[in-house]
Structure 1
């Protein structure tokens, strides 16, 4: 999930988001555009957009109130008997793990679920999949992409029943997929795998404003999905687990970062990226501890992904 380190989106364009959810067809697994065409949505789209692993092991959610040994251990680790911890508080605890390690990776996985896949309306971390992260070495073998699409269908069903309630599904994925595949006038950022690289809060909101002042959403040209051969990349997996691959503005030219497609290469890259993340997290945590009042009042401290409310 190293591609998520390139995420620069803190707030989402809500009007565009609401239109996308309203035009999502769960039976067709597609977005309906204004010209009558449909944009299909697949697990490969999830992998290309967010860089999430598309492994063979399905992700299951816990049954109701059942507390597995893994969930109990996680609750003890975060020191919340019932696991009622906000995502921000969980991130703070995660940043205190200066050496990284297994709990850092478990906490990170919970944060990914809670912010990008299946949020909880009360702002707490989603505990439904904690049992899946027992073996941290198998986290990248999980079917994150299939789980995201199932969560999309479930969240859409809940929202359709009552459109005054929050949409708790993977809205960032829908927005980024649409922004990449539906071209309005020209491309705002060069295409890359994963798509999230290059997009920012400001760029997405500017895209929303441009479509609002034009003819409305869904009026652009539907482009084909980016394909690894377009980048002359060795494989989808290599690009998703390595550095982002970008196209120049000139067709056929390539600006690849280093890609490592072998298991050994992935392990090296993941270790490097995790080490970078831990280093930065440690520095940020130290700054917060030394100047808590300034930190909590700073807008950058608040730039954790927040789920929108329609």
Structure 2
């Protein structure tokens, strides 16, 4: 498994060969005859094909009762959290016990009394960074890419669970949290007297809440009939019913590996072949899937 520096170097060299424009905000995508108009704050592009690769984690999924917490309680989400320096004195409640929640709780436990709220999602039972674990890592990734897919019953069940909750802990182990002094508590169910309330009826007097409760996509800027009632793309392996409009990198787009840096290539190949067939005037081959996927 490559290190963070190796991944950064790879992405930097990859982008160097492409006409990448950073700091550009896309406002809307619409049809213009057979083409698409992509409007941004720095101009408008006309394109025959558009690939939407904006990721799945766009809008923090924060419960409505968050507004009932006392105004002096600092509230952050996993996307806005940058480090312990953002957190003042007092206890911290991290809501959501998936990978982000476990990572943040472990970091905050060094300097703060930290509670981690939510169900345990399970965990990879070995240290993935150890050299001896590389064969196991490859085997697990193979299962992520080829077994846990939208074309298998076990994959479809896993997809529903991942979209609703979280995948297993990969980096942090339960024993790490215990050793750091993180206090595991039940699900956060609401608010009472301005404080968070747990499923067991307890209230926690904390000064900071970090919401690690997941994200929803935001495709409201795509003004085309490719979204379902929840605003999620309807597609087959990233291919939509709007000829020339594609999605890439969605959470569990086709497999559990679809949104991973070393797993997105399989879906990218499907999209690239589809575009090549369209450009050559050939009838694109339907993407192999069990049916249209949403999300």
Tell me the TM-score range normalised by the shorter chain: under 0.3
Q: Whose helix fraction is larger, Structure 1's or Structure 2's?
A: 1
The two structures have a TM-score, normalised by structure 1, of 0.23
Q: Whose relative contact order is higher, 1 or 2, with alpha carbons under 8 Å and at least 6 apart?
A: 1
Q: Which one has a bigger Cα radius of gyration?
A: 2
The two structures have a TM-score, normalised by structure 2, of 0.24
